[in-house]
Amino acid sequence: MRIERPRGTRDFLPDEMERRRAIENLMRRIAESFGYREVATPTFEHLELFTLKSGEGIVEEIYAFKDKSGRDLALRPELTAPVMRMFVNECSVMPRPLRFYYFANCFRYERPQKGRYREFWQFGVELIGSDRPESDAEVIYLAYKILKALRVRFTLHVGHVGLLRSVLRDVGEKDRAMRLIDKKDWKGLEELLKAEGKQHLLDVVLQLSEAESVEEAREIYPDFDYSHVERVAEILESLGVEFRLDFGIARGLDYYTGVVFEMYAEGLGAQKQVCGGGSYRLAKLFGGEDVPSTGFAIGFDRVAEVCEVEVERPKVAIVVGFGDHKRAMKVAEIIREAGVAAVVDVMGRNVKKQLSFANSINADYAVFAGEEFDRGVVTVKDLRSGEQREVKVQELNELFG
């Protein structure tokens, strides 16, 4: 019986995994160069961690289940809430700001399509302890640098949820209105506002989401303090970051309180959002002090789809032992010590078949370990150039090193 994998999940073969590891390593390197350190949280959490403030959109998509004791648990749909839970429980006395990063799988019960999976990976950061524009600018710059280093072609939009929240402050179903704005469902928003007798706000929302500068936004809606977002923009400009102000960004998650940003990549079609983030206050909700934070998550699978990265494949040698498996194993160990992967026959194949296998796995060398090994000598064939020569075993290190 053949068993298919569940819908919306993926398998990764070695070539793809090597490419993904190269991308992941580059992301880690850049995050670490900003002083971020890796954290990890469990794959599942108590369901309420996500129902408290993530918003209806996410809650509908949660993989929730009961364990054998009847506890309500959920596979994590994202990592901001888990990281903040961990912060409140275990890190609240650590010196601030805290700079954490993570690379982990997330689960959302969404309608699967290209770029949208039920299990997907996020690379993200949370900067905990500051609500200053400098910290928003830092995380935006970090995400920007990562996508640039991966040669993704993308646009960066920066906004502030406080502005739309202020416009909608007297609307009863504010969170639902924000979700409609996030989906650009103007028809739905019009109906919602009409039902509350506030259809005049539709125009303000539409105009603000079109505004391209703080001056323009200020003219449309003067009743808001733009200084924070102005300062973030100023820092980003000084760093040479290309972005546009976009006050129409509402974000799908409900916990954001200040600056928000999104990045959209070329070449992905409908699922083009490769990064989302912003500032929020979740620590208090999880029983801690009211500590401000800011962060982002990059959709790793989407980035992997469009980025360019150099994949360094480790060199591989195939060791031919001429029927003496123990000898082949000994030589293989010496080669591994030298930093080259060594593969030994486990199929009982003759020399010709071993070489043809070496060819099929694209091996770099064939090392022939015949009886001359007892004299401390093997023959190394470079499978790329065809060059072949006898080498002293002690010199393998130099040859491969």
Point out which residues bind ligand HAM (CB under 6 A): 78, 80, 108, 110, 116-117, 120, 122, 124, 126, 252-253, 273-278, 295-297, 299, 301-302
Q: Closest approach of Cβ 116 to ligand HAM, in Å?
A: 4
Residue 139 vs 332, nearer CB to ligand HAM: 139
In sequence order, what E strands does 6-71 have?
Answer: 37-38, 44-46, 64-66
Helix (H) or strand (E) holding 56: helix 56-60
Q: Closest approach of Cβ 155 to ligand HAM, in Å?
A: 13
Q: Closest approach of Cβ 199 to ligand HAM, in Å?
A: 29
297 burial type by CB count under 10 A (0-12 exposed, 13-18 middle, 19+ buried):
buried
Residue 251 vs 381, nearer CB to ligand HAM: 251
Q: Closest approach of Cβ 75 to ligand HAM, in Å?
A: 12
Residue 160 vs 381, nearer CB to ligand HAM: 160
Q: Is residue 315 within 8 Å of residue 364, measured between CB atoms? A: yes
Residue 80 vs 354, nearer CB to ligand HAM: 80
Residue 116 vs 330, nearer CB to ligand HAM: 116
Q: Closest approach of Cβ 77 to ligand HAM, in Å?
A: 7
Helix (H) or strand (E) holding 33: helix 14-33
Q: Is residue 141 within 8 Å of residue 156, measured between CB atoms? A: no
Q: Closest approach of Cβ 203 to ligand HAM, in Å?
A: 27
CA dihedral 330, 334, 336, 340 (to 10 degrees): -120
Residue 54 vs 354, nearer CB to ligand HAM: 54
Q: What's the CA gap between 42 and 222, in Å, rounded?
A: 45
3-class SS at 105?
strand
Please report which residue ranges of 117-251 form alpha helices under DSSP H.
Answer: 133-149, 161-167, 174-182, 186-195, 200-210, 214-220, 227-238
Q: Closest approach of Cβ 44 to ligand HAM, in Å?
A: 16
Chain centroid, CA 131 distance in Å: 23
Q: What's the CA gap between 13 and 28, in Å, rounded?
A: 22
Residue 162 vs 278, nearer CB to ligand HAM: 278
Q: What's the CA gap between 35 and 259, in Å, rounded?
A: 22
Residue 101 vs 365, nearer CB to ligand HAM: 101
Start-to-end CA distance of the chain, whole Å, equals 47
Residue nearest ligand HAM by beta-carbon distance: 299
In sequence order, what E strands does 250-400 have?
Answer: 256-265, 273-280, 293-299, 316-320, 341-344, 365-368, 377-382, 388-392
Sheet containing 44-46, strands listed edge to edge, beginning at the edge strand earlier in sequence: 44-46, 72-75, 64-66
Q: Closest approach of Cβ 296 to ligand HAM, in Å?
A: 5
Q: Closest approach of Cβ 394 to ligand HAM, in Å?
A: 51
Residue 300 vs 373, nearer CB to ligand HAM: 300
Q: Closest approach of Cβ 92 to ligand HAM, in Å?
A: 18
Q: Is residue 90 within 8 Å of residue 265, measured between CB atoms? A: no
